[in-house]
A and B are shown apart, each in its own frame.
Chain A
Amino acid sequence: MGKFTKKRGKSNPEVSTASLPDIIFMLLFFFMVVTVLRDADEKVKQNVPSATELTKLEKKSLVNYLRIGKPLPKYQAVYGTKPQLQLGDKIASMEDIPLFIENHRAKVNEAEIPKVISSLKIDGDVTMGIVTDVKTKLRKSGQLKVNYSAKPRAD
């Protein structure tokens, strides 16, 4: 406070720090809003079942995501209401799986290819038919490590 009274009359204009917290709050809110936790835009309904024997997916770079579910209402005009497979952020067919796996493997360190895990995010209401087809495709592509995505059961 002494600073203010030291000089009489016209003191040096000081930069006010009062707005600093506001700036930081703004940053805080900006980051809170902008942070996207999902890597891909979901086009199919994803309500994964719950389970108890869960394993955490450790390294994100070694995981690829295959989603199966009914297309969301806004996409139903294009893709219909039957369960669809979503690779990355677009709806795909079974034939695209080997290429999808291959593309992901190309990005991974060669030594770590055996550690690649496919995370199957499958809606609980889907029937096993399409799931089996996807599993068969994965086996044919040599992608044997699979993780059925599930949420922890609350009990």
Chain B
Amino acid sequence: MAGKRERKAPEVNAGSMADIAFLLLIFFLVTTTIVVDKGVLVKLPPWSNEPPPEMKLNSRNVYSVLVNANNELLVRGEPKAIKDLRADTKEFIMNPSKKENMAEKPTKAIISLKNDRGTAYKTYLEVYNELKAAYNELRDEEARKRHGKPFEFLDRALQKEIRADIPLVISEAEPTNFGEEN
């Protein structure tokens, strides 16, 4: 070194480092999923001060689900586990074997959900989710049968048609007040 002409030490080209960092920055910007809010969509019935009109419902069309303060399920008068609820609801709505005690047809089926003020929200949502899942699965099956495609890939009009044939009717009654609230 000393004898030779003065030369700079060889430098590693750091110019492209910026590009690499930019690449990383963009990669993170693109892949970062800002927590998307998801949830079970529900449409509440409008409020009215008048008591709901008395409706004569054929009891065979009503699927009553009761959840008590101990988070136990009573479905049409019989205890049931949540994991069986979906299949049971589906059978009730479609009534494939035309039983006397199940819905005449899907459009007449009504799900009646009643809980207690002491019911855990977790259980409530689980039950609601199962009931909704039963309907969604039925619509999907119907879509595949009619059009050979899953429900979500159908056109709006066709979706509407199936929705009209299998309408989601979950009626929620005023909760009972036996259990302890936290």
Contacts and interface: CB of A to CB of B under 8 A. Distances in A.
Interface of A: 4, 17-18, 20-21, 24-25, 27-28, 32, 37, 48-49, 51-57, 63, 68, 82-83, 117, 119-120, 122-132, 135-136, 138-140, 142-152
A49 to B, nearest CB: 4
B34 to A, nearest CB: 5
Given A127-B118, A132-B175, A144-B46, A28 B125 contact: no
Contacts of A57: 36-39
A80 to B, nearest CB: 12
B82 interface: no
A128 B38 contact: no
Interface residues of chain A: helix, strand, loop or mixed (majority): mixed
B35 to A, nearest CB: 5
B8 interface: yes
Interface of B: 8, 14-15, 17-18, 20-22, 24-25, 28, 34-47, 69, 115-122, 124-126, 128-129, 132-133, 136, 174-175, 177, 179-182
Interface residues of chain B: helix, strand, loop or mixed (majority): mixed
B29 to A, nearest CB: 8
Contact of B43 (A82, A128, A142, A145): A145
Nearest to A147: B39
| Interface core residue of B37, B120, B125 (most chain A CB under 10 Å) | B37
Contact of B179 (A82, A119, A127, A143): A127
Contacts of A68: 121
B45 A139 contact: yes
